[in-house]
Protein backbone atom coordinates (compact mmCIF):
# COMPACT_ATOMS: atom_id res chain seq x y z
CA UNK A 1 0.00 0.00 0.00
CA UNK A 2 1.39 3.36 -1.00
CA UNK A 3 -0.50 5.67 1.34
CA UNK A 4 -2.18 4.18 4.37
CA UNK A 5 -4.18 6.36 6.74
CA UNK A 6 -5.37 4.49 9.84
CA UNK A 7 -7.91 5.71 12.39
CA UNK A 8 -6.68 9.26 11.94
CA UNK A 9 -7.74 12.02 14.29
CA UNK A 10 -6.78 15.69 13.92
CA UNK A 11 -7.84 18.34 16.43
CA UNK A 12 -7.43 22.08 16.39
CA UNK A 13 -6.68 23.72 19.73
CA UNK A 14 -9.75 25.25 21.35
CA UNK A 15 -12.27 23.41 19.15
CA UNK A 16 -14.53 20.93 20.92
CA UNK A 17 -14.90 18.61 17.95
CA UNK A 18 -12.05 16.94 16.08
CA UNK A 19 -11.73 18.22 12.49
CA UNK A 20 -10.89 14.67 11.35
CA UNK A 21 -12.04 11.63 13.32
CA UNK A 22 -11.32 7.93 12.86
CA UNK A 23 -10.48 8.22 9.15
CA UNK A 24 -8.93 5.18 7.46
CA UNK A 25 -8.10 4.91 3.77
CA UNK A 26 -5.61 3.22 1.46
CA UNK A 27 -4.25 4.47 -1.83
CA UNK A 28 -2.33 2.27 -4.28
CA UNK A 29 0.72 3.52 -6.14
CA UNK A 30 -0.33 5.31 -9.34
CA UNK A 31 -3.92 5.84 -8.20
CA UNK A 32 -5.72 9.14 -7.80
CA UNK A 33 -7.85 9.46 -4.69
CA UNK A 34 -10.36 12.26 -4.30
CA UNK A 35 -11.84 13.60 -1.07
CA UNK A 36 -15.22 15.22 -1.46
CA UNK A 37 -17.71 16.61 1.02
CA UNK A 38 -19.44 19.79 2.13
CA UNK A 39 -17.57 22.84 3.34
CA UNK A 40 -15.91 22.30 6.72
CA UNK A 41 -16.06 18.48 6.59
CA UNK A 42 -12.32 18.14 7.14
CA UNK A 43 -10.98 17.48 3.62
CA UNK A 44 -8.27 20.13 3.74
CA UNK A 45 -7.29 19.17 7.28
CA UNK A 46 -6.81 15.56 6.20
CA UNK A 47 -4.72 16.64 3.22
CA UNK A 48 -2.61 18.95 5.38
CA UNK A 49 -2.05 16.13 7.86
CA UNK A 50 -0.77 13.90 5.02
CA UNK A 51 1.52 16.76 3.95
CA UNK A 52 2.86 17.02 7.50
CA UNK A 53 1.43 20.53 7.94
CA UNK A 54 -0.95 19.55 10.77
CA UNK A 55 -0.01 17.42 13.76
CA UNK A 56 -2.02 14.27 14.29
CA UNK A 57 -3.74 13.57 17.61
CA UNK A 58 -4.50 9.87 17.07
CA UNK A 59 -4.00 7.15 14.49
CA UNK A 60 -1.22 7.22 11.92
CA UNK A 61 -0.24 7.99 8.33
CA UNK A 62 2.13 5.70 6.45
CA UNK A 63 3.84 6.49 3.18
CA UNK A 64 5.41 3.45 1.50
CA UNK A 65 5.22 1.65 4.86
CA UNK A 66 7.05 4.38 6.77
CA UNK A 67 5.07 6.00 9.59
CA UNK A 68 5.26 9.71 8.77
CA UNK A 69 2.62 10.96 11.24
CA UNK A 70 1.22 9.66 14.50
CA UNK A 71 0.55 11.09 17.95
CA UNK A 72 4.28 10.87 18.64
CA UNK A 73 5.90 10.93 15.17
CA UNK A 74 6.00 13.83 12.74
CA UNK A 75 8.30 13.61 9.76
CA UNK A 76 8.81 17.22 8.60
CA UNK A 77 6.94 18.15 5.40
CA UNK A 78 10.13 18.70 3.39
CA UNK A 79 11.25 15.12 4.08
CA UNK A 80 8.01 13.56 2.81
CA UNK A 81 8.73 14.10 -0.90
CA UNK A 82 5.28 15.50 -1.47
CA UNK A 83 4.24 17.86 -4.26
CA UNK A 84 1.44 20.30 -3.52
CA UNK A 85 -0.92 22.35 -5.63
CA UNK A 86 -3.22 24.49 -3.55
CA UNK A 87 -5.92 26.91 -4.63
CA UNK A 88 -3.92 29.86 -3.33
CA UNK A 89 -0.51 28.43 -4.10
CA UNK A 90 0.31 31.27 -6.46
CA UNK A 91 3.21 31.32 -8.89
CA UNK A 92 6.11 33.66 -8.17
CA UNK A 93 5.29 36.67 -10.37
CA UNK A 94 8.89 37.83 -10.74
CA UNK A 95 10.09 34.43 -11.98
CA UNK A 96 9.59 33.14 -15.52
CA UNK A 97 7.58 29.97 -16.06
CA UNK A 98 10.87 28.06 -16.27
CA UNK A 99 12.09 29.73 -13.07
CA UNK A 100 8.88 28.79 -11.29
CA UNK A 101 9.03 25.18 -12.43
CA UNK A 102 12.72 24.89 -11.48
CA UNK A 103 12.04 26.29 -8.00
CA UNK A 104 11.97 22.94 -6.22
CA UNK A 105 14.96 21.51 -8.10
CA UNK A 106 17.40 24.44 -7.89
CA UNK A 107 19.92 22.16 -6.19
CA UNK A 108 20.04 19.92 -9.29
CA UNK A 109 22.77 20.38 -11.90
CA UNK A 110 21.89 23.15 -14.39
CA UNK A 111 21.66 20.81 -17.38
CA UNK A 112 19.41 18.38 -15.46
CA UNK A 113 17.23 21.23 -14.27
CA UNK A 114 16.74 22.49 -17.81
CA UNK A 115 15.90 19.02 -19.10
CA UNK A 116 13.40 18.39 -16.30
CA UNK A 117 11.75 21.80 -16.77
CA UNK A 118 11.31 21.08 -20.48
CA UNK A 119 9.99 17.60 -19.70
CA UNK A 120 7.31 18.67 -17.21
CA UNK A 121 6.27 21.67 -19.29
CA UNK A 122 5.71 19.31 -22.18
CA UNK A 123 3.75 17.00 -19.87
CA UNK A 124 1.36 19.83 -18.97
CA UNK A 125 1.07 21.00 -22.58
CA UNK A 126 3.12 24.19 -22.16
CA UNK A 127 6.25 23.27 -24.10
CA UNK A 128 8.15 26.32 -25.27
CA UNK A 129 6.67 28.56 -22.55
CA UNK A 130 9.65 28.57 -20.18
CA UNK A 131 10.57 32.18 -20.96
CA UNK A 132 7.08 33.58 -20.45
CA UNK A 133 5.90 35.20 -17.22
CA UNK A 134 2.88 34.19 -15.11
CA UNK A 135 0.94 37.40 -15.90
CA UNK A 136 1.12 36.52 -19.61
CA UNK A 137 -0.75 33.25 -19.03
CA UNK A 138 -4.44 32.42 -18.58
CA UNK A 139 -5.72 31.11 -15.23
CA UNK A 140 -5.82 27.56 -16.56
CA UNK A 141 -2.27 27.83 -17.92
CA UNK A 142 -1.06 29.20 -14.60
CA UNK A 143 -2.53 26.22 -12.77
CA UNK A 144 -0.79 23.90 -15.22
CA UNK A 145 2.50 25.68 -14.42
CA UNK A 146 1.76 25.16 -10.71
CA UNK A 147 1.20 21.47 -11.47
CA UNK A 148 4.47 21.30 -13.43
CA UNK A 149 6.29 23.02 -10.55
CA UNK A 150 4.92 20.45 -8.09
CA UNK A 151 5.78 17.51 -10.37
CA UNK A 152 9.33 18.67 -11.20
CA UNK A 153 11.11 17.19 -8.14
CA UNK A 154 9.46 13.80 -8.79
CA UNK A 155 7.47 13.73 -5.55
CA UNK A 156 6.30 10.35 -4.28
CA UNK A 157 2.83 11.78 -3.66
CA UNK A 158 0.94 14.73 -5.12
CA UNK A 159 -1.62 16.62 -3.03
CA UNK A 160 -4.04 18.94 -4.78
CA UNK A 161 -6.51 21.08 -2.83
CA UNK A 162 -9.29 22.59 -4.97
CA UNK A 163 -6.75 23.69 -7.58
CA UNK A 164 -9.44 24.87 -9.98
CA UNK A 165 -11.76 26.71 -7.64
CA UNK A 166 -10.74 30.13 -8.95
CA UNK A 167 -11.46 29.15 -12.55
CA UNK A 168 -14.72 29.32 -14.44
CA UNK A 169 -16.91 26.21 -14.71
CA UNK A 170 -16.19 25.25 -18.34
CA UNK A 171 -12.48 25.51 -17.85
CA UNK A 172 -12.66 23.54 -14.61
CA UNK A 173 -14.26 20.57 -16.26
CA UNK A 174 -11.77 20.53 -19.11
CA UNK A 175 -8.84 20.93 -16.77
CA UNK A 176 -10.11 18.15 -14.52
CA UNK A 177 -9.80 15.68 -17.42
CA UNK A 178 -6.46 17.16 -18.46
CA UNK A 179 -5.03 16.96 -14.96
CA UNK A 180 -6.03 13.33 -14.67
CA UNK A 181 -4.21 12.67 -17.95
CA UNK A 182 -1.13 14.58 -16.76
CA UNK A 183 -0.99 12.81 -13.39
CA UNK A 184 -1.40 9.41 -15.06
CA UNK A 185 1.28 10.21 -17.67
CA UNK A 186 3.61 11.21 -14.84
CA UNK A 187 2.81 7.94 -13.02
CA UNK A 188 1.93 10.04 -9.97
CA UNK A 189 0.01 8.89 -6.94
CA UNK A 190 -2.26 11.73 -5.90
CA UNK A 191 -4.82 12.82 -3.35
CA UNK A 192 -7.16 15.53 -4.57
CA UNK A 193 -9.68 17.63 -2.66
CA UNK A 194 -12.80 19.09 -4.21
CA UNK A 195 -16.40 19.83 -3.31
CA UNK A 196 -17.54 19.29 -6.91
CA UNK A 197 -18.75 15.78 -7.64
CA UNK A 198 -18.35 15.98 -11.42
CA UNK A 199 -14.75 16.97 -10.85
CA UNK A 200 -14.36 14.05 -8.43
CA UNK A 201 -15.82 11.62 -10.98
CA UNK A 202 -13.62 13.03 -13.76
CA UNK A 203 -10.42 12.71 -11.77
CA UNK A 204 -10.65 9.98 -9.16
CA UNK A 205 -9.92 6.27 -9.32
CA UNK A 206 -11.24 6.14 -5.81
CA UNK A 207 -13.39 8.73 -4.08
CA UNK A 208 -13.93 9.38 -0.38
CA UNK A 209 -17.05 11.12 0.87
CA UNK A 210 -16.54 13.02 4.11
CA UNK A 211 -18.95 14.69 6.50
CA UNK A 212 -18.27 16.26 9.89
CA UNK A 213 -14.74 14.92 10.07
CA UNK A 214 -15.67 11.33 9.21
CA UNK A 215 -15.06 9.37 6.05
CA UNK A 216 -18.38 7.72 5.13
CA UNK A 217 -17.17 5.70 2.16
CA UNK A 218 -14.01 5.20 0.13
CA UNK A 219 -14.85 3.53 -3.17
CA UNK A 220 -14.96 3.97 -6.92
CA UNK A 221 -17.54 6.33 -8.40
CA UNK A 222 -19.81 3.54 -9.62
CA UNK A 223 -20.06 1.95 -6.19
CA UNK A 224 -20.59 5.29 -4.46
CA UNK A 225 -23.48 6.02 -6.77
CA UNK A 226 -25.07 2.58 -6.88
CA UNK A 227 -24.18 1.20 -3.46
CA UNK A 228 -23.87 4.16 -1.12
CA UNK A 229 -22.88 3.01 2.36
CA UNK A 230 -24.82 5.67 4.24
CA UNK A 231 -27.79 7.98 3.72
CA UNK A 232 -25.39 10.88 3.66
CA UNK A 233 -23.45 9.41 0.71
CA UNK A 234 -26.70 8.49 -1.06
CA UNK A 235 -27.88 12.05 -0.80
CA UNK A 236 -24.59 13.83 -1.44
CA UNK A 237 -23.66 11.78 -4.52
CA UNK A 238 -26.29 12.04 -7.22
CA UNK A 239 -29.03 13.53 -5.05
CA UNK A 240 -30.97 10.53 -3.87
CA UNK A 241 -34.59 10.59 -2.84
CA UNK A 242 -35.80 8.18 -0.17
CA UNK A 243 -39.22 6.54 -0.40
CA UNK A 244 -40.77 4.62 2.49
CA UNK A 245 -41.03 0.93 1.64
CA UNK A 246 -42.09 -2.29 3.28
CA UNK A 247 -40.15 -5.45 2.56
CA UNK A 248 -42.29 -8.58 2.41
CA UNK A 249 -41.72 -12.19 1.31
CA UNK A 250 -43.71 -13.28 -1.73
CA UNK A 251 -43.16 -16.51 -3.71
CA UNK A 252 -39.81 -17.08 -1.98
CA UNK A 253 -38.54 -13.68 -3.05
CA UNK A 254 -38.40 -10.30 -1.38
CA UNK A 255 -40.71 -7.60 -2.65
CA UNK A 256 -40.38 -3.95 -1.69
CA UNK A 257 -43.79 -2.28 -1.58
CA UNK A 258 -43.54 1.45 -2.29
CA UNK A 259 -45.95 4.27 -3.12
CA UNK A 260 -44.72 3.95 -6.72
CA UNK A 261 -45.58 0.26 -6.95
CA UNK A 262 -43.91 -3.00 -5.96
CA UNK A 263 -40.29 -3.80 -6.67
CA UNK A 264 -39.58 -7.46 -7.26
CA UNK A 265 -36.79 -9.57 -8.80
CA UNK A 266 -34.37 -7.61 -6.71
CA UNK A 267 -30.68 -8.47 -6.50
CA UNK A 268 -29.02 -8.21 -3.12
CA UNK A 269 -32.18 -7.09 -1.36
CA UNK A 270 -32.10 -7.51 2.42
CA UNK A 271 -34.69 -9.80 4.02
CA UNK A 272 -37.75 -8.22 5.65
CA UNK A 273 -36.35 -9.31 9.04
CA UNK A 274 -33.49 -6.81 8.57
CA UNK A 275 -35.83 -4.01 9.62
CA UNK A 276 -38.60 -3.76 12.23
CA UNK A 277 -41.75 -5.01 10.45
CA UNK A 278 -39.76 -4.86 7.20
CA UNK A 279 -40.18 -1.09 7.16
CA UNK A 280 -37.33 0.83 5.61
CA UNK A 281 -36.56 3.56 3.07
CA UNK A 282 -35.44 2.79 -0.47
CA UNK A 283 -33.07 5.03 -2.36
CA UNK A 284 -34.36 6.23 -5.70
CA UNK A 285 -32.24 8.05 -8.26
CA UNK A 286 -33.75 10.14 -11.01
CA UNK A 287 -32.88 7.33 -13.44
CA UNK A 288 -34.74 4.72 -11.34
CA UNK A 289 -38.04 6.54 -11.87
CA UNK A 290 -39.44 6.34 -15.40
CA UNK A 291 -42.34 8.00 -17.16
CA UNK A 292 -44.82 5.53 -18.69
CA UNK A 293 -47.94 7.16 -20.17
CA UNK A 294 -50.40 4.44 -19.19
CA UNK A 295 -48.88 3.54 -15.81
CA UNK A 296 -51.44 3.06 -13.02
CA UNK A 297 -49.53 5.24 -10.53
CA UNK A 298 -49.73 8.95 -11.32
CA UNK A 299 -47.56 11.76 -10.02
CA UNK A 300 -47.92 15.50 -10.36
CA UNK A 301 -45.17 17.56 -11.94
CA UNK A 302 -44.09 20.28 -9.53
CA UNK A 303 -40.93 21.46 -11.26
CA UNK A 304 -39.15 20.76 -14.49
CA UNK A 305 -35.78 21.76 -15.80
CA UNK A 306 -34.75 21.37 -19.40
CA UNK A 307 -31.42 19.58 -19.82
CA UNK A 308 -31.27 19.36 -23.63
CA UNK A 309 -31.95 15.72 -24.41
CA UNK A 310 -34.06 15.28 -21.29
CA UNK A 311 -36.08 17.00 -18.59
CA UNK A 312 -35.41 16.60 -14.92
CA UNK A 313 -38.93 16.44 -13.49
CA UNK A 314 -39.64 16.84 -9.80
CA UNK A 315 -42.89 15.00 -9.05
CA UNK A 316 -45.22 14.73 -6.08
CA UNK A 317 -46.92 11.40 -5.47
CA UNK A 318 -50.48 11.10 -4.16
CA UNK A 319 -48.92 9.94 -0.88
CA UNK A 320 -47.16 13.31 -0.60
CA UNK A 321 -43.59 12.12 -1.26
CA UNK A 322 -41.41 13.80 -3.83
CA UNK A 323 -39.35 11.94 -6.43
CA UNK A 324 -37.24 13.05 -9.36
CA UNK A 325 -37.10 11.58 -12.85
CA UNK A 326 -35.07 12.06 -16.00
CA UNK A 327 -37.52 11.97 -18.90
CA UNK A 328 -36.68 12.26 -22.63
CA UNK A 329 -37.38 15.86 -23.63
CA UNK A 330 -40.02 15.00 -26.25
CA UNK A 331 -42.27 14.21 -23.24
CA UNK A 332 -42.89 17.88 -22.63
CA UNK A 333 -45.58 17.94 -19.93
CA UNK A 334 -46.89 20.97 -18.10
CA UNK A 335 -46.24 21.78 -14.46
CA UNK A 336 -49.30 20.66 -12.46
CA UNK A 337 -50.08 17.79 -14.86
CA UNK A 338 -50.49 14.24 -13.46
CA UNK A 339 -48.45 11.74 -15.45
CA UNK A 340 -47.94 7.98 -15.24
CA UNK A 341 -44.78 6.95 -13.43
CA UNK A 342 -43.18 3.61 -12.62
CA UNK A 343 -40.00 2.26 -11.12
CA UNK A 344 -37.15 0.59 -12.91
CA UNK A 345 -34.66 -0.36 -10.23
CA UNK A 346 -31.93 -2.92 -10.70
CA UNK A 347 -30.48 -3.20 -7.25
CA UNK A 348 -32.38 -1.79 -4.40
CA UNK A 349 -30.54 0.17 -1.72
CA UNK A 350 -32.31 0.33 1.64
CA UNK A 351 -31.72 2.28 4.83
CA UNK A 352 -33.43 2.26 8.21
CA UNK A 353 -36.58 4.40 8.16
CA UNK A 354 -35.26 7.91 8.28
CA UNK A 355 -35.68 11.25 9.91
N1 LIG B 1 -6.49 26.45 11.62
C2 LIG B 1 -7.67 26.07 12.15
N3 LIG B 1 -7.95 26.33 13.44
C4 LIG B 1 -9.13 25.92 13.99
N5 LIG B 1 -10.09 25.27 13.30
C6 LIG B 1 -9.86 25.01 12.02
C7 LIG B 1 -8.65 25.39 11.36
N8 LIG B 1 -8.71 24.99 10.06
C9 LIG B 1 -9.92 24.38 9.93
N10 LIG B 1 -10.60 24.38 11.08
C11 LIG B 1 -11.93 23.77 11.31
O12 LIG B 1 -11.83 22.39 11.07
C13 LIG B 1 -12.98 21.91 10.35
C14 LIG B 1 -12.55 21.27 9.05
O15 LIG B 1 -12.02 22.28 8.19
P16 LIG B 1 -11.38 21.96 6.76
O17 LIG B 1 -10.77 23.21 6.25
O18 LIG B 1 -10.53 20.77 6.87
O19 LIG B 1 -12.69 21.60 5.93
P20 LIG B 1 -12.89 21.46 4.35
O21 LIG B 1 -13.73 20.25 4.17
O22 LIG B 1 -11.60 21.47 3.65
O23 LIG B 1 -13.75 22.74 4.02
P24 LIG B 1 -13.76 23.67 2.69
O25 LIG B 1 -14.37 22.84 1.60
O26 LIG B 1 -14.67 24.80 3.13
O27 LIG B 1 -12.36 24.09 2.44
C28 LIG B 1 -13.90 23.12 10.18
O29 LIG B 1 -14.84 23.08 11.21
C30 LIG B 1 -12.97 24.29 10.33
O31 LIG B 1 -13.66 25.41 10.85
Extents of the domains making up the chain: 3-235, 239-352
Q: Atom 6 (ligand 1): residue with closest C-alpha?
A: 12
The question of ipTM being above 0.85 is answered as: yes
Mean confidence (pLDDT) of the chain: 92
Give the pLDDT band (50/70/90) at residue 355: low
- Contact between 244 and 322 under an 8 Å Cβ cutoff? The reply is no
When the candidates are 3.10.310.30, 3.40.50.1220, 2.40.50.140, 2.40.50.220, the CATH number that belongs to 239-352 is: 2.40.50.140
Ligand 1 atom at minimal distance to the Cα of residue 42: 18
Residue 226 predicted with pLDDT over 70: yes
Residue 176: its pLDDT value, please?
Answer: 86
Of 41, 54, 56, 161, the residue with max ligand 1 atoms within 8 A of its CB, to mutate for a pocket test, comes to 41
pLDDT average, residue stretch 11-31: 95
- Report the residue among 10, 18, 42 best suited for mutation to probe ligand 1: largest number of ligand atoms under 8 A from its CB: 42
38-90: pLDDT as tens digits: 999 999 999 999 999 999 999 999 999 999 999 999 999 999 999 999 876 58
Q: Is the pLDDT of residue 262 over 80?
A: yes
The CATH architecture of the domain made up of 3-235 is 3-Layer(aba) Sandwich (3.40)
Name the residue of 18, 23, 45, 216 to mutate for ligand 1: max ligand atoms within 8 A of Cβ: 45
Mutate to test the pocket of ligand 1, among 40, 53, 164, 165 (most ligand atoms within 8 A of CB): 40
Å from CA of 204 to ligand 1 middle: 22
- Report angle CA 114, 115, 119 to the nearest 5 degrees: 115
Question: In this predicted model, what pLDDT tens digit does every residue of 140-174 receive, in sequence order?
Answer: 889 899 999 999 999 999 999 988 877 777 777 77
Which atom of ligand 1 lies closest to the CA of 193? 22
What residues flank ligand 1, with Cβ below 6 Å? 12, 15, 19, 37, 39-45, 195
Average of per-residue pLDDT across 329-336: 92
Give the residue-averaged pLDDT of 332-346: 92
Q: Which of 56-60, 271-275, 311-315 is most confident? A: 56-60
Looking from the CA of residue 17, the nearest atom of ligand 1 is: 29
Tell which atom from ligand 1 comes closest to the C-alpha of 46. 18
Measured distance CA(142)–CA(138) in Å, rounded: 6
Specify the ligand 1 atom closest to the Cα of 13: 4
Amino acid sequence: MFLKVSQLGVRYAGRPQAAVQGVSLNLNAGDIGVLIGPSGCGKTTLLRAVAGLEPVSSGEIRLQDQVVSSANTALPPEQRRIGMVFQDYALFPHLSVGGNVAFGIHQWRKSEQAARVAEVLELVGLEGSAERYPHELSGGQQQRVALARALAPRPQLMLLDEPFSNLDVDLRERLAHEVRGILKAAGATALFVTHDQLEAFAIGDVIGVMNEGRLHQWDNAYTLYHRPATRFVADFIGHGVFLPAQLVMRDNGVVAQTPLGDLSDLDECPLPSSYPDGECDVLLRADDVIHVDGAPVKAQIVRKSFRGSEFLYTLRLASGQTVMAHVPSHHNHEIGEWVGMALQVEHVVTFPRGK
